[in-house]
Chains A and B, each alone.
Chain A
C-alpha cells in the first residue's frame, strides 16, 4: 500500500486510524480506513451539495428581488433536504426503448467522477484525503470523465432532446477542456509543481499566486472562470440542458434518485471548479496576509470555505446575469478568443518568469 500515501493526521481521524490499526492486520486496516474516508466524504459532500442547491436558490431569489425558499425549517434551511427525501422516495420510471445497462450506469459515472475529484483537495493543512504528486493532472482527468456519463445518459435515453443535449455537452466539454487545461498550465509554470499541497506551500512565502503572477495570472483566472463555468454546464453555457429548447437536456428521461445524482453532480462540479481556482489563485486554506497563521487552534478550513463560497457566488452571479449562448457563439468564444488568448498568456507568463518579474 505504499503508493497510496494516506495523509490524514487530523486529531479525530488519527485516533480512529490508530484504533483500527490496533484491532486488525495492516492491509485490512488500510482498506477499512479507505472505506471510512470514502463514506465520510460521500456524506459530507452530498450534504454540502444539497446546501449549495439551497444557496443557489436563495441567491437567485435575491437577484430577482424575491425571498426564496423560507417555509421548510428556519429560513428554509431544510428545503433541499426535503426535496432530496422526496426524490429518494419517488418511483424510478423509464421509457421502454432505453438501453437499460447504460441508462442505469450513466448517473453513477457523473456522480462518482464528481466525488472522486474531491479526494485530492487540501481543505486545510491536515484535511486532505489523497495527496498525490500529480494532483492537478488527476483533477483535469477526473473532471473529464463526467462528460462520458452525460453522453451515455443522452444516448441511452433514446430521446432526441436528450441526445442533442448530450452531444452539445460533448462538444462543449471538449472545447473548453482546452482552456481549463491551458489556464491551469499557465499557473503551473509559476508553481513548478502539480501537487496541490506544494502549490499552497509556494503561496505561503510568496503571496497568493494571483498576486505573484499579476497580469498573466489575472488573465488566466478570468479564462479559468469562464471555461470552468462552461465545464460545469451552467448558465450562460447551459445549452446542454437548455429548458426552453430541449426539455431538460440529457436528463429528460431520468426521475427520482437518478435525476438527483445529475443535479447534485452539477453542484459538486461547481464546488470543484471553485476549489481548483481557490488552490491555484487564492492560496487555498492560507489566511489573507497570514492573519491567523500563528493561531494554532484556528481551523484553516474556514478560509478555504469562505474563498470557495466567494467564487461560487461569482458563478451564480454569472448565471443570473447573462443570457444563454448559441452553439456557434459558444464555439466562437472558445476557439477564436479564449484559446488564442490563452496561448498568448502562456507566452506572457513564461516571459514574466524568465525575466523574474514576479512579485
Chain B
C-alpha cells in the first residue's frame, strides 16, 4: 500500500518543513539578520571584499604607489580609467621617468569588475568599502584618484 505510505510521508515532510520555518518565526524576536541601514549608518562596516569604488591609497607624506604603467587603463574593459602622464628627469638617477599627472576614474562607467586592481603590479589602487555613491550631478562621478601634489613613493619601480 504505497499509496497511503506516500500520503503519510508527504504529510510528515511537509510538517518537518513547517517546523523549520516555524522555529525561525519564533526566533525572529531575538534579532534580525538584516542591516537596519539608515539607523546604523555610523557603525555599519562593509565586509573586506565589498567592491564600492576604486581608490588610490596615499601614505602620510602624500605618496602613492602608482608608477603610471597604465596596466589598469589597458585592463579596463570599458575605458573607465584614463591616465594623464608625463616624463620627467629623475633627480636622483638623472634618467627620464614616467610619472602620473592625473589618474582619472569614471565611477559612472565602472562595472566593478576588478580587472584593473588585478592588473596593478604595485597595488596602487584598491577597492574601497563605501557604498553611498549617489551624487546630484554626473560630473561628480569623474574622480581624480591621486591627490594634488602627491608623488610616487621612491623605489616602487624596482
Q: Is the CB of A321 within 8 A of B33?
A: no
**A341 partner residues in chain B, CB cutoff 8 A:** 7
Interface residues on A, range: 10 to 19
- Asked whether B21 is an interface residue with its Cβ less than 8 Å from the other chain, the reply is yes
What is the distance, in angstroms, from B5's C-beta to the closest C-beta of chain A?
12
Q: Is the CB of B21 within 8 A of A65?
A: no
Q: Which residue, of A62, A63, A67, A321, has the highest number of chain B Cβ atoms within 10 A? A: A321
**How many contacts A-B (CB < 8 Å)?**
39
- Asked whether B18 is an interface residue with its Cβ less than 8 Å from the other chain, the reply is yes
**A61 partner residues in chain B, CB cutoff 8 A:** 28
In the complex, A67 Cα to B7 Cα: how many Å?
36
Name the residue of chain B whose CB is nearest to the CB of A59: B25
Q: Which residue, of B18, B24, B25, B36, has the highest number of chain A Cβ atoms within 10 A? A: B25
User: Knowing A337-B7, A341-B7 touch, does A66 contact B18 (C-beta < 8 A)?
Assistant: no
Q: Is the CB of B21 within 8 A of A66?
A: no
- Asked whether A320 is an interface residue with its Cβ less than 8 Å from the other chain, the reply is yes
Q: Mark B11-47, 1 if CB is under 8 A from A, else 0.
A: 0001001101110110110011110100000000000
User: Knowing A66-B32, A67-B34, A337-B7 touch, does A317 contact B18 (C-beta < 8 A)?
Assistant: yes
What is the distance, in angstroms, from B111's C-beta to the closest C-beta of chain A?
26
- Asked whether A322 is an interface residue with its Cβ less than 8 Å from the other chain, the reply is yes
Determine which of B10, B14, B22, B32 lies in contact with A67 in the assembled complex, contact meaning CB atoms within 8 Å: B32
User: Knowing A62-B25, A63-B25, A337-B7 touch, does A321 contact B18 (C-beta < 8 A)?
Assistant: yes
User: Knowing A63-B24, A63-B28, A337-B7 touch, does A322 contact B33 (C-beta < 8 A)?
Assistant: no
Q: Is the CB of A321 within 8 A of B28?
A: no
Q: Which residues of chain A in 302-344 are interfacial with respect to chain B, using CB atoms and an 8 Å cutoff?
A: 317-318, 320-322, 337, 341
Name the residue of chain A whose CB is nearest to the CB of B29: A62
Name the residue of chain B whose CB is nearest to the CB of A314: B18
User: Knowing A317-B18, A317-B21, A321-B21 touch, does A66 contact B34 (C-beta < 8 A)?
Assistant: yes
The total of chain B residues at the interface (CB under 8 A) is 17
Name the residue of chain B whose CB is nearest to the CB of A67: B32
In the complex, A100 Cα to B33 Cα: how many Å?
47
Q: Is the CB of B28 within 8 A of A62?
A: yes
In the complex, A321 Cα to B33 Cα: how many Å?
18
Q: Which residue, of A61, A62, A322, A341, has the highest number of chain B Cβ atoms within 10 A? A: A62
**A322 partner residues in chain B, CB cutoff 8 A:** 14, 17
Q: Mark B101-112, 1 if CB is under 8 A from A, else 0.
A: 000000000000
In the complex, A178 Cα to B63 Cα: how many Å?
78
Q: Which residues of chain A in 54-85 are interfacial with respect to chain B, using CB atoms and an 8 Å cutoff?
A: 59, 61-67
In the complex, A320 Cα to B32 Cα: how many Å?
17
In the complex, A62 Cα to B21 Cα: how many Å?
10
Q: Is the CB of B34 within 8 A of A65?
A: yes
In the complex, A240 Cα to B113 Cα: how many Å?
38
Name the residue of chain A whose CB is nearest to the CB of B18: A321
Determine which of B7, B10, B14, B21 lies in contact with A63 in the assembled complex, contact meaning CB atoms within 8 Å: B21
Determine which of B10, B17, B31 lies in contact with A321 in the assembled complex, contact meaning CB atoms within 8 Å: B17
**B33 partner residues in chain A, CB cutoff 8 A:** 65-66
What is the distance, in angstroms, from B105's C-beta to the closest C-beta of chain A?
35
Q: Is the CB of A317 within 8 A of B7?
A: no
Q: Is the CB of A317 within 8 A of B22?
A: yes
Residues of A within 8 A of B (CB): 59, 61-67, 317-318, 320-322, 337, 341
Q: Could you list some 8 contacts between A and B, CB below 8 A?
A: A63-B21, A65-B32, A66-B32, A67-B34, A67-B36, A317-B22, A317-B25, A321-B17
Counting from the closest, the 8 A-B pairs by CB-CB distance are A62-B28, A321-B21, A65-B33, A321-B17, A66-B34, A63-B25, A321-B18, A67-B32
With A65-B24, A320-B21 given, can you name 7 additional A-B contacts, CB distance below 8 Å? A64-B24, A65-B28, A65-B34, A317-B22, A321-B17, A321-B20, A322-B14
